[in-house]
A and B are shown apart, each in its own frame.
Chain A
Amino acid sequence: MKVKLENISKTYFSLRGKVKALSEINLEIRDREFLVILGPSGCGKTTLLNLIAGIEKPSSGEIYFGEKLVFSDKKNVFVSPKERNIAMVFQNYALYPHMSVFENIAFPLRIQKMDKNIIKKEVEKVAEMLNIKGLLQARPYELSGGEKQRVAIARALVRKPNLFLLDEPLSNLDAQLRLTARTELKTLQKNLKITTIYVTHDQIEAMSLGERIVVMNKGKIEQIGTPEEVYHKPENLFVAKFIGTTPINFFVVEVKSEQSNIYGYLGELKIEVPEEKLHLVKDQKIGIGIRPEDIKTEVEKEDFILTVKVNIIESLGKEYLLHTTYKNYDIKILTKNKFPEKSLIKAGFSKKNLYFFSPE
């Protein structure tokens, strides 16, 4: 099922006063898509899911499920969550503590007053699928985090929802389990072909799961794109900083025009600003970004070569993160080679790996 959000805003009135949780969200989720919403804590991810599910109401805007209008403030339309046929997995799973695993999974069907035998069959089917058949008689408090998560997913899937919402479902698991659960989730979604919206603040999770990623910040969408797009073509500094294993290097440099070209000066390096990025220049300045992993220490035919001083070496297991300085710029470099501290080394990078941003 396709889902469309138009100009969705949400303002909370609380003791703190007005809190603008979401502003002017426009978003289209394609049928059967696995869409990931990525953003730092407090950026409004959960709020967005709640609005789609109908648990809360937007302050303004419209929401369509397929062609059907399910919310509009102007037309005073509100379709209740019950009628939306949506399933959601919560961050802390929200299993009903007073019911057995079987009853938890069966609950949505019981509410629909389904036949007892059918309920039993359906619950067993979904339990089989998620490998929790042995747990059906257990109580939620007896389960481990991973088991709880499976039960929550089973409860969500059992009534064959049109839309599947997951709110950081893996964040309470340990690193090992998170990895396997991630793969399983992906396979599950592929097989079931349910439109899925997945919320996370973990960019690695987002990159490996999402067909498309929505990067959010402070209640606004910063960029929508495939994992490759948000990684290689970040539209702004926030996205560039947020995506990538280590934060991007970012410099604000002076620009000068020479003949018909415009150049940014990073120390002695003279970097040409391409035509289509010229609009980013403000007050004779431009922001330039380069990822630490794109700076090479084995210099061959890089476009720009510079000598940097190694200050600190951070070991990341297989790789090292070098904190270096060049002139008065701090530069981080990700490399497989180890260098002694305080040494001077050669580093280089290519034109094609550079990002240009407005200088703020």
Chain B
Amino acid sequence: MIRLYKNEIKALSIFLLPLFIFVILFIFIPVIFVFINSLFRDVTFLGKKFVFLENYIFLAKDYAFWESLKFTLLFITISVPLEIILGLLFAVILNEKIPYRGFIRVCILLPWAIPAVVSARLWELIYSYNYGLANFILLKLGLIEKPVNWLETGVSAFISLVIADIWKTTPFVAIILLAGLQTIPKEIYHQALVDRANFLQRFFKVTLPLLKPVIIVAFLFRTIDAIRIFDLIYVLTKGGPGGATTSLSIYAYEYYLSGDFGYASAISVFLFLVSLAISILYLKLSRFKEETL
């Protein structure tokens, strides 16, 4: 229906071609390959054999896989809401007229901007049994009697990961929520002030309801990110102790490492489909509409 002329088609294809080449070559083809590969038994030195859904059937019966799914979901349900709450607090602070805002913004951005493995290393030292900051402070405050081996027991390792993840990703949530806060018209606040609402009332009756759509977007964005968590765990616990902190990405990685490409692919496909479902939900809810083009 829309008629494009020859020179336009030429220009259009030149503008789009590099984009397509890169995206297809290093994102779509690999994804398709993983799909295909997940239908094979593909173990190093043992050769390749088409087994159709066997990997998936095995997956369904794999106790360790379910454990790692359980861990990943638990990790998301605990860390993401905490990040949202803390991020909201940061955003409210950044939105106020306080001095040195530029400096405060830099402080809040820094944890997000550095490599995840670097932040993991910082926290590894903090959690260290013999000479770490965490044990030092808690002992001095008298909250614990003897040093805790943070990364060596299931529960404490889980808590340690959550805290480190919150530190790393809260800034991102804060920025997104700040943008949302700034779209709330000032007049609404003035009205609330006229109605003599105090700070907390203003927050719960005005800010929060108006911010809901942005919070949902931030929530989904973080969920997509958290579901593939790898770097932090790889450095801090390597999935231990005893597999208690094996996320789906770590689990797949272990199979890649062991040379079982077929099964690792099946895990990857599962992870991919879950991510895709959430990202479709995300794109539906985020305010990106065709009219804005």
Contact = CB atoms under 8 A, between A and B. Distances in A.
| Complex A–B touching at CB under 8 A | yes
A69 B203 CA distance: 66
Interface stretch (B1-9, B55-63, B238-246, B276-284): B1-9
A20 to B, nearest CB: 14
Interface residues of B, number: 7
A141 interface: no
B195 interface: no
A78 B5 contact: yes
Nearest to B291: A15
Nearest to A13: B1
B290 interface: yes
Tell me the dominant secondary structure on chain A's binding face: loop
Contacts, number: 8
B5 A57 contact: yes
A80 interface: yes
B7 A80 contact: yes
Interface in A331-349: none
A22 to B, nearest CB: 16
Contacts of B290: 15
Size class of the contact patch on chain A: under 10
Nearest to B1: A13
Contacts of B2: 13
A57 B2 CA distance: 10
Interface in B44-62: none
A15 B290 CA distance: 9
B181 to A, nearest CB: 28
B3 A57 contact: yes
Interface in B1-58: 1-3, 5, 7
A217 to B, nearest CB: 26
Interface in B94-132: none
A125 B236 CA distance: 72
Interface string A65-83: 0000000000000101000
- The 4 lowest CB-CB distance pairs between A and B, nearest first, are A13-B1, A13-B2, A78-B5, A15-B290
Interface of A: 13, 15, 57, 78, 80
8 contacts: A13-B1, A13-B2, A15-B290, A15-B291, A57-B3, A57-B5, A78-B5, A80-B7
